[in-house]
Amino acid sequence: MELYQLKTFVAVAAEGSLSRAAEKVFASLPAVSAQIKALEDELGVRLFDRLPKGMRLTEAGDRMLGQAKATLASANQITHVAAEIRGELLGRAKLGVLTDSLPLRIGQIMLTLALRHPKINVGLHRDVSARVIRRVRDGEFDGGFALSASLPDGVTATPIMSVELVVALPVKCAQTAGALTLAEIGQMAWIDAVSECALHDAAKDLFRLTGSPPQARYVADSEGALRSMVASGLGAGILRADEAQDGVDNGEMVVWPHWKGSTCLYWISGATARHDAIPAAVRDIVLATWQTKDSAPRSKLTE
C-alpha cells in the first residue's frame, strides 16, 4: 500500500468522480482508476460502487475513509517534524489584505517570504478591515492588514503607518467648498462605506459633532468605488487624503478644507502569533518590509 493510493482514495471519496479526483491529484483518469482497483485488491474489499454518473462509497469504503485520512495526517505530521529538525518552515498561511487601494507592499512581502521560507504556501484573501480583524481573531486568518482608529481587541495589532482622511466633494462644489458647514455637507447626498470599513467609523465620528449623522444615500464596498461615486458627482464621502488628492489632481473632486481625520494601518496577528512559527515568520517579514520596530504597541489582550 502506498500513500499516493490513499490520497487518491480520499480524493475520489470527496469528489464522487474519477475524473474530478484525477484533476485534484494531478493524475490521469486511467491512473486513478488503476490505483483504486489496486487498493481494493490489496485490502480485499470493494471501496466504491461504480455508478453511471460517478463513484459512491460502499459501507466498507466509508469505514476505511476515516482511517485513510488519519494515516495521511500522520504522514504529513512526520514531514513537518522533519522540516522543523532541518530548521525549515513547512505549511500554509492565510492572510487578509484590504479591498481598498492602499499600497500594502504585498509584492515585496511575498518575495521576501518566498526567499526565506520557500515551503510556506500563502493564500491572500481580500476583505474589509473589521472582517480581517474578526477572521484573525477567530483563527481563520493567520494575519492581515486592517485600518482602525484604535487598537482592536482580542488580537495583536502592530501600527504600521498613520493614514490621513478628508471629506471629498463633487467637483461642482469647487467654488463653495470653503464656505460649506458640516451640517450643510450632511444634507448633501452622502456616500458611506460599508459598516465594516474604517471610513464608515470615521464618518460616524465626524458627524457626531452635529448630533445627526447623515442618511447614506449610497453605500460603497471599497474605497475605489467610493471615489468613483464622488467623481461622478453623486455626492460627498470620506476618502484617504492621498486618494482624494489624486482625484483633485485629475479634476474629479474637491476637498472640504475644514476637517482632517486619521486612522491607522495595522498588521493584525492572532494572540498566539509569537508562539506559532509560521504566523510569526510572516509577521516579522511584514514589519521588516515596513521598517516597523518590534517594540510597537500591541492590543491590550496580549499585554
Span 26-54, pLDDT tens digits? 889 999 999 999 999 999 999 999 998 88
pLDDT band at 80 (very low <50, low <70, confident <90, very high): low
Pairing relationship of beta strands 156-170 and 190-193 according to DSSP bridges: unpaired
169/247 Cα distance (integer angstroms): 10
What does the pLDDT read at residue 294?
41
236/247 Cα distance (integer angstroms): 13
Which of the residue ranges 26-40, 83-97, 127-141, 279-293 would you say has the lowest mean pLDDT? 83-97
What does the pLDDT read at residue 217?
87
In tens, the pLDDT along 227-268 reads 999 999 999 999 999 999 999 999 999 999 999 999 999 999
Q: What integer best gives the mean pLDDT of the chain?
A: 87
pLDDT band at 295 (very low <50, low <70, confident <90, very high): very low
In tens, the pLDDT along 88-131 reads 677 889 999 997 778 899 999 999 999 888 888 899 999 999 99
Whether residue 298 is predicted with pLDDT greater than 50 in this model: the reply is no
Residue type at 170?
Answer: P
What does the pLDDT read at residue 85?
66
Full set of structural domains in the chain with CATH: 3-85 (1.10.10.10), 91-303 (3.40.190.290)
Give the orientation angle of helix 106-116 with respect to helix 277-289, to 10 degrees: 130
What does the pLDDT read at residue 258?
94
Answer whether 239's CB lies under 8 Å from 139's CB: no
What does the pLDDT read at residue 12?
94
Whether residue 155 is predicted with pLDDT greater than 50 in this model: the reply is yes
What does the pLDDT read at residue 102?
81
Whether residue 172 is predicted with pLDDT greater than 80 in this model: the reply is yes
What does the pLDDT read at residue 301?
35
Report percent pLDDT > 70 for the chain: 91
- Set of cell numbers at residue 140: 481563520
Average pLDDT rounded to a whole number, residues 269-284? 79
What does the pLDDT read at residue 106?
92
Whether residue 297 is predicted with pLDDT greater than 70 in this model: the reply is no
Whether residue 299 is predicted with pLDDT greater than 50 in this model: the reply is no
Answer whether 59's CB lies under 8 Å from 47's CB: no
Answer whether 101's CB lies under 8 Å from 243's CB: yes
The DSSP secondary-structure symbol of 256 reads -
Whether residue 135 is predicted with pLDDT greater than 80 in this model: the reply is yes
Whether residue 270 is predicted with pLDDT greater than 90 in this model: the reply is no
Instruction: Note the helical H segments in 44-117.
Output: 59-85, 106-116
**CA triple 128-133-136, angle to 5 deg:** 120
Answer whether 136's CB lies under 8 Å from 270's CB: yes
What does the pLDDT read at residue 33?
93
Torsion angle, CA of 106/112/115/118, rounded to 10 degrees?
-50
Average pLDDT rounded to a whole number, residues 199-213? 83
In tens, the pLDDT along 177-197 reads 999 999 899 889 999 999 889
- Set of cell numbers at residue 68: 485513510
Per-position b or e across 174-183, b if 16+ CB within 10 A of its CB: eeebeebeee
What does the pLDDT read at residue 293?
44
Pairing relationship of beta strands 216-220 and 190-193 according to DSSP bridges: parallel
